């Protein structure tokens, strides 16, 4: 029977003497076999022992990862360990062992491929063998799993390592970012009835999504985009609302690019996701050509830093912003501060969770009244004066993300907001798989159902937007009016 257990580096070096022509079965019988966890521990000790001062001082995660890979290759080539694969009787050859160690030490074990796959938007692990990913808006079971709880905890430590916060029974919940900048929330096994940790990773695309991409996926029509692009151009504050994962931040990032580059923008997010820096000639090393300042806030319950969303919003008002963009409004104080910013001459954009345009205004009102003594009618009037448009985005059952309504806020009457819906998405049918009855596609269409108010038309004209660019939105829609989803990326005269 094969000997297993911890062995010293000196014992392991005996494998140097192995004739390279001996087959694996002879090696297993002749030399000590170790588990993958033992090989991992020896490899980490080897790296610690031989690593240079330059390696220890290196802060760039990509360069450090490449240096680590070379140490792992060096360890395997010099030690030639005989390592049994977890859970079966097979053994690693040296090449596959290198890959496994690189995955474990420099990457993320069983979720490495999911982390690197640009088509995957979210990774959720509810236990060692309960991993789910979201791709194209649909949830799929991930085939690979962790070997045990300790393995999963090691990967979690690596995921949240950038934040320098450890997951412990006293700190059982952590919000952080990975070295790639992805959002991650992890929880300790202590708060699980099954005694297992868990985590969720929200990824973002490294390539900016273009209006053409979104139109190709029928997220909105060409005419809808013409309206959406005019909202930031005309300095009309807006709120993008929807459920978690509906694509609110992605849509906002696209709309922000329509703001005049010389208009000063200050954003506050937790964590920072939007990539707003624009460079001359779209070159990576070109000169920055837009006046944008981005901050990253800490959570409200973090007492170690005053950089909360509310405090950064207050500070932003002192930094001469044209636009202020809190990533998402959550607490009553944040709603109150955002409204104050709007009332003191700043334009703003943000996101919040709501199920429609009117519901978004009521959500704002409810949160604001928790910290304000204003009469509800006056508060609602002020909110409806500050918010000019509400954009509602939804993730449908077929995984597609669509702008399902674009609405103008006209004001209020008593305790009721006056909403002028311009566009909406109408569902007409569902295409199902005949055998599984699973949803294949939601069949529907975008339809214009209203016209812009005279007040917004005047605002657009004062902002220097010619009437020809929005004239089609000034008349009530015809019954046979149809929307198209083709977009010329090189034609900016929309």
pLDDT digits 0-9 by tens, 92-128: 999 999 988 988 888 888 998 898 888 898 999 999 9
Bridge partners of 403, per DSSP, are: 393
| Whether the predicted pLDDT of 265 surpasses 70 | yes
Backbone φ, ψ for residue 23 (5° rounding): -85, 170
Once rounded to an integer, what is the mean pLDDT over residues 298-312?
81
- The yes-or-no verdict on residue 20 having pLDDT over 70 is no
> 221-235, 359-373, 472-486: lowest mean pLDDT where?
472-486
pLDDT at 363: 96
pLDDT tens for each residue of 21-44: 445 455 455 567 888 888 888 888
The per-residue pLDDT for 231 is 98
pLDDT at 291: 95
335 in Cβ contact with 367 (< 8 Å): yes
H or E segment to which residue 176 belongs? strand 173-177
CA distance 453 to 224: 16
- For 143-171, what is the mean pLDDT? 86
| Ramachandran assignment for 254, one of left (phi > 0), alpha (psi -120 to 50 degrees), beta (any other) | alpha
Tell me which CATH code domain 115-202 carries: 3.30.450.380
Q: CA–CA separation, 16 vs 81, rounded Å? A: 9
Mean pLDDT (whole number) for 328-350 = 92
Average pLDDT (319-335) is 93
Structure tokens at 210: 């273009």
Residue 12: per-residue pLDDT = 46
The residue written with tokens 């430590």 in the block is 157
Measured distance CA(197)–CA(127) in Å, rounded: 6
- Residue 329 is inside which H or E element, if any? none
CA distances from 184 to 64, 270, 399 (A): 21, 11, 22
Residue 275's SS3 state is coil
Among 62-71, 158-167, 227-236, 428-437, which range has the highest average pLDDT? 227-236
Where does the pLDDT of residue 89 fall: very low under 50, low under 70, confident under 90, or very high at 90 and above? confident
Domain 211-473, what fold?
Answer: Rossmann fold (3.40.50)
User: Cα–Cα–Cα angle for 391, 392, 396, nearest 5°?
Assistant: 145
Of 488, 426, 494, whose CA–CA distance to 466 is shortest? 494
pLDDT at 417 over 80: yes
Q: Where in the chain is the domain with CATH 3.40.50.300?
A: 211-473
Long-range contacts of 50-53 (CB under 8 A, 24+ apart): 50/74
pLDDT at res. 4: 38
CA-angle at 393, arms to 321 and 267, nearest 5°: 20
Residues spanned by CATH 3.30.450.380 within the chain? Answer: 115-202
Q: If we measure between CA atoms, which residue out of 381, 341, 380 comes closest to residue 362? A: 380
Q: What are phi and psi of 475, to 5 degrees?
A: -105, 155
Please, are residues 331 and 300 in contact by the beta-carbon 8 Å criterion? Answer: yes
pLDDT digits (tens, 9 = 90+) for 442-493: 999 999 999 999 999 999 999 999 999 999 999 999 988 889 998 765 455 5
Which pLDDT score, from 0 to 100, does residue 84 have?
Answer: 87
Residue 18: per-residue pLDDT? 39
């Amino acid at each position: 029977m094969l000997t297993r257990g911890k062995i010293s580096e000196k014992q392991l070096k005996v494998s140097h003497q192995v004739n390279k022509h001996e087959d694996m079965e002879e090696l297993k019988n002749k030399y000590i076999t170790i588990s993958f966890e033992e090989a991992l521990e020896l490899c980490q000790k080897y790296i610690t022992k031989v690593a240079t001062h330059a390696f220890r001082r290196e802060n760039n995660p990509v360069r450090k990862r490449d240096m680590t890979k070379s140490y792992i290759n060096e360890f395997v080539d010099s030690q030639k360990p005989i390592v049994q694969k977890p859970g079966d009787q097979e053994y690693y050859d040296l090449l596959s062992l290198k890959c496994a160690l690189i995955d474990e030490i420099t990457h993320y074990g069983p979720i490495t491929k999911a982390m690197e796959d640009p088509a995957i938007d979210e990774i959720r692990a509810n236990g060692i063998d309960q991993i789910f990913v979201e791709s194209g808006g649909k949830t799929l079971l991930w085939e690979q799993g962790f070997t045990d709880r300790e393995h999963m905890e090691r990967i979690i430590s690596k995921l949240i390592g950038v934040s320098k916060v450890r997951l412990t029974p006293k700190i059982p919940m952590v919000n952080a970012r990975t070295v790639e900048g992805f959002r991650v929330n992890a929880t300790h096994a202590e708060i699980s009835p099954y005694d297992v940790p868990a985590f969720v990773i929200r990824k973002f695309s490294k390539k900016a999504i273009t209006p053409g991409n979104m139109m190709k996926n029928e997220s909105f029509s060409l005419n809808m985009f013409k309206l959406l692009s005019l909202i930031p151009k005309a300095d009309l504050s807006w709120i993008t609302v929807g459920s978690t994962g509906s694509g609110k931040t992605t849509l906002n990032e696209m709309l922000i690019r329509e703001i005049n580059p010389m208009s000063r923008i200050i954003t506050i997010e937790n964590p920072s996701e939007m990539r707003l820096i624009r460079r001359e000639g779209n070159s990576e090393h070109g000169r920055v050509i837009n006046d944008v300042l981005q901050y990253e806030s800490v959570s409200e319950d973090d007492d170690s830093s005053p950089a909360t969303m509310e405090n950064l919003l207050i500070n932003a008002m002192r930094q001469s912003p044209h636009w202020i963009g809190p990533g998402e409004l959550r607490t009553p104080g944040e709603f109150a501060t955002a409204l104050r910013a709007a009332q003191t001459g700043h334009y703003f954009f943000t996101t919040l969770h709501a199920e429609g345009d009117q519901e978004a205004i009521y959500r704002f009102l409810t949160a604001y009244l928790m910290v304000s003594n204003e009469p509800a009618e006056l508060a609602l009037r002020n909110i409806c004066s500050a918010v000019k448009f509400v954009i509602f985005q939804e993730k449908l059952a077929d995984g597609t993300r669509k702008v399902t309504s674009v609405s103008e806020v006209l004001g209020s009457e008593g305790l009721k907001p006056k909403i002028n819906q311009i566009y909406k998405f109408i569902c007409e049918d569902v295409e199902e798989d005949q055998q599984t009855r699973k949803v294949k596609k939601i069949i529907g269409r975008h339809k214009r159902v209203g016209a812009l108010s005279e007040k917004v038309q005047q605002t657009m004209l004062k902002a220097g937007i010619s009437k020809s660019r929005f004239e089609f939105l000034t008349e009530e829609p015809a019954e046979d009016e149809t929307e198209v989803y083709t977009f010329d990326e090189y034609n900016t005269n929309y």
